[in-house]
Structure 1
Amino acid sequence: MDAAASTVPASVRDNGFYLGMSVAIAVAVIGGFGSFALRGLVDVGRAPYWVHVHGAMFVSWTLLFVMQNAFAHRGSMALHRRMGWAAVGLATAMVPLGAFTACMAVVLDRVPPFFTTPEFLALSALELIAFAGLLTGAIRLRRRTQWHRRLMLCAMVAIIGPAFGRLLPMPLLGPLGGLAVMGGQMLFVAVGMAHDLVSRGRMHPAYGVGAAVILAEGLAVPILAATPPILWLASALAG
């Protein structure tokens, strides 16, 4: 690397990588939900309106995530910051709507057949908590670019489990389905870690935080699903 290139901040050199990662995540999300609909595994026309709103908000978030990385890649940081506050508003609405949609899936008996009702509620709760926690960390550290962009990536990865659940043959995986979904999510984090090792010679600690949260999200599902509050909620909603 020549002297001029070595003076370029790592955050600038990494812009192309994070844009590529955001596009790859968007392809996984849209491909997962799109293929599910194209295979006739969901009746889009009969889905309740809040499911459509939830889906539209999630797709909007995914596209905004790509746009934010594109703005950073082209150096449009003022626009990136302005759109960042729009993203905060969208995320603030996504979390309660996601919780409502999960609860209504139980009420209307729309829980995927490869989950028990308590498992579905536990997974939904943990995904939303992981997303909100990582996103909050990314917002608080928005002036520390290295932390911000990695925590944003991990926050996005934390909520793409349902997309992998539609890409993978979940009925065939049985009890290993949850681990397979978590493995798909962790693959994105592992790519980010590998990029750090190649480009920086060490892994940034933000990936350690993100990986720990995502692993806890997946591994804690059966534990939370067996707790009295979740069992009571599952029974109350189904009844």
Structure 2
Amino acid sequence: MSTQVLPSISLRKRVAYDRRFYLTMAIAAFVLIFVGFSRTYYLKAHFPMSPALSLLVHIHGFVFTTWMLYFVLQNALIAVNRPSLHRKLGISGAFLGSAVILLGLVVAFTAVRLHHGGGPYDAETIFLVGLVDLFTFALFFVTGYLYRRDREAHQRLMMMAVVIGLIGPALGRLGIHGVPPQVLGPINLAFMFAGPVYDLVTRRRVHRVYIYGVLFGLATFTPLRFALGATPWWHHMAHLIAGM
């Protein structure tokens, strides 16, 4: 009798751990983004020295923030065992995520055409970094939506969409808060590898989504994009892509 009961208990515990883990990761990503953009967006009124924002940036920021709150809400619904409501809100997330991608592209193209860079990096380099972020988010987001009936794949794909595709710009802005540049890479990697490590601890194996996701994340790691973005070849490509 004990051999029949133990696996069931173990499975219930694992499901409970999964719910807490993914909700924790969603909240951590939201907090990181809020802190990263606090001086230049969320708490800008308290830091008047930061540049003025256009209407387009305000719209993009609103939609992006709404998506992050939606992402936290969806994980919270699973954590409190409300999967039916989670599924009902799924179509809203499809439209919201698509809006994030479209507005992100508009902002990226507008910034490079106006020669708006970021810190020590020129507009063309920032353009590359932003395009890869948007492509990464779109890749995992769309695939996650297509695999929405596969819980194991879906939750991992949606988390990869956020921790690989969206937190990069916020990480880059942590330097404004005095975070040393050499710490930013390890923070990025910590978010990227949190899922695989969790799988190893709870399942003794890593889901294929994490394997492919981490490999993709490492191949497009932000420092590599900065190096490529500084080359004359990419500057030429950026001008062609942006129609400059």
Instruction: Give the TM bin, normalised by the shorter chain.
Output: 0.7 to 0.9
Identity among equivalent pairs (%): 29
Tell me which of 158, 167, 172 is aligned to 1:165: 172
Letter in 1 for 2:173: R
CA contact (8 A) 1:123 1:217 kept: no
Q: Residue 195 of structure 2 corresponds to which residue in structure 1?
A: 192
SS state of the match for residue 119, structure 2? coil
Relative distance call for 1:235 and 1:221 in structure 2 (3 A) is: farther
Matched, 1:209 2:207: no
Tell me which of 17, 24, 30 is aligned to 1:13: 17
Q: How many residues align?
A: 230
Give the unaligned 5+ runs of structure 2.
Answer: none
Distance 1:169 1:235 in 2: 32
CA contact (8 A) 1:114 1:170 kept: no
CA contact (8 A) 2:199 2:207 kept: yes
Letter in 1 for 2:162: M
Backbone CA RMSD of aligned residues = 2.7
Q: C-alpha offsets along residues 40-81 of structure 1, whole Å, 9 cap, x if unaligned? A: 4524xx311010000011111111110000001111111111
Relative distance call for 1:118 and 1:110 in structure 2 (3 A) is: closer
Distance 1:52 1:26 in 2: 18
Give the unaligned 5+ runs of structure 1.
Answer: none
1:188 to partner: Cα distance: 0.9
CA contact (8 A) 1:22 1:69 kept: yes
| Larger RCO, structures 1/2 (Cα 8 Å, 6+ apart) | 1
Matches for 1:1-239 after TM superposition, within 5 Å:
3=6, 4-8=8-12, 10-36=14-40, 37=44, 38-40=46-48, 42-43=50-51, 46-157=52-163, 158-168=165-175, 181-218=184-221, 219-220=224-225, 222-223=227-228, 226-227=233-234, 228-233=236-241, 236=244
TM-score of the superposition, structure 2-length normalised? Answer: 0.83
Distance 1:150 1:107 in 2: 35
1:113 to partner: Cα distance: 2.7
SS state of the match for residue 100, structure 1? helix
Q: C-alpha offsets along residues 167-223 of structure 1, whole Å, 9 cap, x if unaligned? A: 1359997xxx6x865543321121222211111112212111221222233234543
